[in-house]
């Protein structure tokens, strides 16, 4: 049986077994694609060759965020950061520990990309080895769960989450505390907790990175939620496209079970909690909560009308709490540092931080976590460093196929749920794709509509046929074959889909079209066919 002292002993043992110098080598998907695994082995070999085994440890860590500069290596004690490291440079890095010459490209922690960030959910990313529970415990892991089980009632936990002001990070921004309270008071023989890791928005990889870098943080958050709402079974629904995240979660669950942090009578209390992984099979619509539930039940991922909401009638008809990965990632830090601390970060109605995947035509691509309320301009120009070749920025796209494009003129908009909605986009799950003057906005709208058309589940007619009609119209416009009447039809269909579709996929599918029409209408009009009479007279 795990006790609080055992946690402390484990943490202490882990700290004492640490060697003097820890070198972090990012082994997340992004850096692995840039050759990080080979580099990791070469670093180990270089330590061995230099006879530094007693002093130096090479740690495979989670995402450091600066994916465009990977593979990345950092030296813990002195904070030296290396970028674009090639495997053959490993001996050079090891030699540099003793003042040897080193020509490996060095990064700068003072760079705004790092300096302007604030890490809550990603605090362990790039610092601990995600495949060892001991490392998570050494940084205080599972102490929040202990505190909750022994010193707080479920109602007090829900109250703390409510007071923190945390809102759902999946995109919609529903107050997390309110959702928990609804599940807690819904009657049911059983209750379930589901973590939505079906990150389907193209251009978003926050959840992948969090799951790969700090799986125990999510398990701890889910456990606390389960205690608060009275659930004993959890499901982690992860995209099939994320094999590394799945492997690390499986490992983390096995380790947590072994140390009695998942299972029966956790921390010697009456609280039992099991977690199983469900692997998605490539259907974007499964990010919608009722479709996700259908998928866990082994059925086609098709949504159903709400209400009843899953909080009352969810998995197999039982009250079910569904939160996004990043939402669960905020739970343990809120319990540890207090609701007031969290409520002190961000803006009046959007508290805390948000993780964004900053990509596209921007110099510094990667993952960033910033306080709510930072402006888009600060993110794109300061953290992102503008476009790589100095081409003027045209806009950013947030929220994927459900979001919209925000033009450069509105870059002083602060990043919070309400402000982004006001300018016709959404917070979304956190994808932020930068577009420069060369990007064709009609093509972008067509790209997203093709996506929605392919991903429409086919259950409700407005979405099933509407997306096809809109895609055809956009293709026609793109090809220079459309008339003003086609454009008018397109706009009508936008309203129709928004008002009559069954779920969020269809309701928000017009967003990219509407926002590009709102801000870049001249690009559409330029493509409209000239009136036939003009062609005739010019002949």
Partner 1 sequence: MATASPREVPTDQANDKRLKILEATMKRHQYRADALIEVLHKAQELYGHLTEDRLLAIAHSLHLPPSRVYGVATFYHFFSLTPQGEHSCTVCLGTACYVKGAMELLAALEAESGLRAGSTSADRKLSLLTARCLGACGIAPAVIVDGNVTGHADPEVMRARVRALLDEE
Among 29, 44, 223, 387, indicate the residue that binds partner 1 (CB under 8 A): 29
Question: Binding mask 399-438 vs partner 1 (x if CB under 8 A, - otherwise)?
Answer: -x------------------------------x-xxx---
Q: Which stretch binds partner 1 (CB under 8 A): 85-93, 149-157, 198-206, 343-351?
A: 198-206
Among 199, 214, 378, 381, indicate the residue that binds partner 1 (CB under 8 A): 199
DSSP state of 311: T
CA–CA separation, 146 and 84 (whole Å): 41
Residue 128 CB, nearest distance to partner 1 (Å)? 20
Q: Which stretch binds partner 1 (CB under 8 A): 168-176, 184-192, 379-387, 442-450?
A: 442-450
Can you name the residues that pair with 57 across neighbouring β-strands?
Answer: 22
Q: In what order do the strands lie in the sheet with 21-26?
A: 56-61, 21-26, 73-75, 80-82
- Give 69 or 124: the residue with its C-beta nearer to partner 1: 69
Q: Which stretch binds partner 1 (CB under 8 A): 19-27, 154-162, 341-349, 446-454?
A: 446-454
Q: Which residues have a Cβ under 8 Å from the Cβ of 354 and sit 6 or more positions away?
A: 169, 326, 369, 370, 372, 415, 427, 430
CA–CA separation, 127 and 135 (whole Å): 9
Can you name the residues that pair with 359 across neighbouring β-strands?
Answer: 433
215 sits near partner 1 (criterion: CB under 8 A):
no
520 sits near partner 1 (criterion: CB under 8 A):
no
CA distances, 460 to each of 126, 304, 515 (Å): 44, 10, 24
The structure tokens listed for 471 are: 């895609």
- Give 71 or 462: the residue with its C-beta nearer to partner 1: 71
Burial (CB < 10 A; 0-12, 13-18, 19+), residue 338, is: middle
Q: Which residue has the tokens 């829900």?
A: 158
Burial (CB < 10 A; 0-12, 13-18, 19+), residue 134, is: middle
- Give 149 or 357: the residue with its C-beta nearer to partner 1: 357
439 sits near partner 1 (criterion: CB under 8 A):
yes
87 sits near partner 1 (criterion: CB under 8 A):
no
- Give 199 or 326: the residue with its C-beta nearer to partner 1: 199
Residue 4 CB, nearest distance to partner 1 (Å)? 35
515 sits near partner 1 (criterion: CB under 8 A):
no
CA distances, 223 to each of 154, 181, 198, 337, 354 (Å): 12, 16, 19, 18, 22
Which positions from 93 through 132 interact with partner 1, judged by CB under 8 A? none
396 sits near partner 1 (criterion: CB under 8 A):
no
Q: 10 Å Cβ neighbour count for 350?
A: 24
Selection from 26, 7, 6, 9 nearest residue 17 by Cα? 9
Site size for partner 1, by CB under 8 A? 57
The structure tokens listed for 493 are: 């269909």
Which positions from 329 through 388 interact with partner 1, judged by CB under 8 A? 357, 359-361, 365-367
CA distances, 119 to each of 60, 122, 194, 517 (Å): 20, 5, 24, 36
397 sits near partner 1 (criterion: CB under 8 A):
yes
CA–CA separation, 323 and 235 (whole Å): 11
Which positions from 223 through 262 interact with partner 1, judged by CB under 8 A? 239-242
Can you name the residues that pair with 273 across neighbouring β-strands?
Answer: 263
- Give 344 or 458: the residue with its C-beta nearer to partner 1: 458
Among 180, 192, 205, 273, indicate the residue that binds partner 1 (CB under 8 A): 205
Residue 205 CB, nearest distance to partner 1 (Å)? 3
Among 208, 216, 248, 313, indicate the residue that binds partner 1 (CB under 8 A): 208
- Residue 303 Rama label (left phi>0; alpha psi -120 to 50; beta): beta
Is the Cβ–Cβ distance between 193 and 231 less than 8 Å? yes
457 sits near partner 1 (criterion: CB under 8 A):
yes
- Give 297 or 412: the residue with its C-beta nearer to partner 1: 297
Residue 458 CB, nearest distance to partner 1 (Å)? 9
- Give 93 or 285: the residue with its C-beta nearer to partner 1: 285
Q: Which residue has the tokens 């070198």?
A: 23
Question: Binding mask 274-303 vs partner 1 (x if CB under 8 A, - otherwise)?
Answer: ----xxxxxxx----------xxxxxxx--
Question: Binding mask 58-77 vs partner 1 (x if CB under 8 A, - otherwise)?
Answer: --------xxx-x-------
Is the Cβ–Cβ distance between 425 and 448 less than 8 Å? no
33 sits near partner 1 (criterion: CB under 8 A):
yes
Q: Write out the residues near partner 1 by the rule CB under 8 A.
A: 29-30, 32-34, 66-68, 70, 199-205, 208-209, 239-242, 278-284, 295-301, 357, 359-361, 365-367, 397, 400, 431, 433-435, 439, 444, 447-448, 451, 454-455, 457
């Amino acid at each position: 049986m795990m006790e609080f002292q055992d946690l402390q002993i484990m943490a202490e043992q882990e700290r004492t077994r640490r060697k003097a110098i820890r070198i972090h080598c990012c082994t997340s998907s992004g850096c692995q694609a840039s050759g990080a695994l080979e580099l990791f082995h070469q670093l180990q070999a270089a330590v061995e060759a230099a006879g530094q085994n007693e002093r130096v440890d090479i740690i495979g860590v989670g995402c450091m965020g600066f994916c465009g500069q990977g593979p990345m290596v950092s030296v813990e004690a002195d904070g030296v950061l290396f970028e674009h490291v090639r495997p053959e440079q490993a001996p050079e890095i090891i030699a540099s520990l003793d003042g040897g010459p080193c020509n490996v490209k060095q990064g700068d922690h003072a760079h705004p990309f790092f300096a302007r960030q604030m890490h809550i959910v990603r605090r362990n990313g790039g610092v601990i080895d995600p495949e060892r529970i001991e490392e998570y415990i050494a940084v205080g892991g599972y102490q929040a769960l202990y505190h909750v089980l022994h010193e707080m009632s479920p109602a007090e936990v829900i109250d703390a989450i409510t007071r923190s002001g945390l809102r759902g990070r999946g995109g919609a921004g529903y107050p997390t505390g309110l959702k928990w309270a609804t599940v807690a008071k819904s009657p049911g023989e059983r209750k379930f907790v589901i973590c939505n890791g079906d990150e389907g928005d193209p251009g978003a990889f926050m959840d992948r990175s969090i799951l790969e870098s700090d799986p125990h943080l999510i398990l701890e958050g889910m456990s606390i939620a389960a205690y608060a709402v009275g659930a004993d079974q959890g499901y982690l629904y992860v995209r099939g496209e994320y094999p590394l995240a799945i492997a690390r979660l499986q490992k983390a669950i096995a380790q947590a079970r072994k140390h009695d942090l998942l299972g029966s009578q956790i921390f010697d209390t009456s609280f039992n909690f099991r977690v199983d992984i469900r692997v998605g099979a490539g259907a974007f619509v499964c990010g919608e909560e009722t479709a996700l539930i259908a998928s866990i039940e082994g059925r086609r991922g098709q949504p159903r009308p709400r209400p009843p909401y899953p909080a009352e009638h969810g998995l197999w008809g039982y009250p079910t709490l569904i939160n996004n990965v990043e939402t669960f990632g905020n739970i343990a830090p809120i319990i540890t540092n207090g609701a007031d601390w969290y409520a002190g970060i961000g803006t009046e109605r959007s508290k805390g931080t948000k993780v964004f995947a900053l990509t596209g035509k921007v110099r510094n691509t990667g993952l960033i976590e910033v306080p709510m309320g930072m402006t888009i301009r600060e993110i794109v120009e300061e953290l992102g460093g503008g476009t790589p070749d100095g081409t003027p920025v045209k806009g950013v796209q947030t929220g994927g196929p459900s979001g919209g494009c925000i033009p450069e003129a509105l870059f002083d908009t602060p990043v919070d749920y309400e402000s982004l909605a006001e300018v016709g986009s959404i917070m979304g799950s956190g994808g932020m794709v930068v577009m420069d003057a060369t990007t064709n906005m009609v093509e972008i709208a067509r790209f997203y509509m093709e996506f929605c058309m392919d991903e429409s589940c086919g259950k409700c007619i407005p979405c099933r046929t509407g997306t096809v009609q809109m895609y055809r119209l956009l293709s026609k416009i793109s090809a220079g074959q459309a008339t003003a009447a086609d454009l008018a039809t397109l706009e009508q269909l936008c309203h129709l889909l928004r008002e009559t579709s069954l779920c969020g996929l269809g309701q928000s599918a017009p967003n990219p079209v509407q926002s590009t029409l709102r801000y870049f209408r001249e690009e559409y009009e330029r493509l409209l066919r000239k009136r036939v009479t003009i062609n005739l007279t010019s002949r």
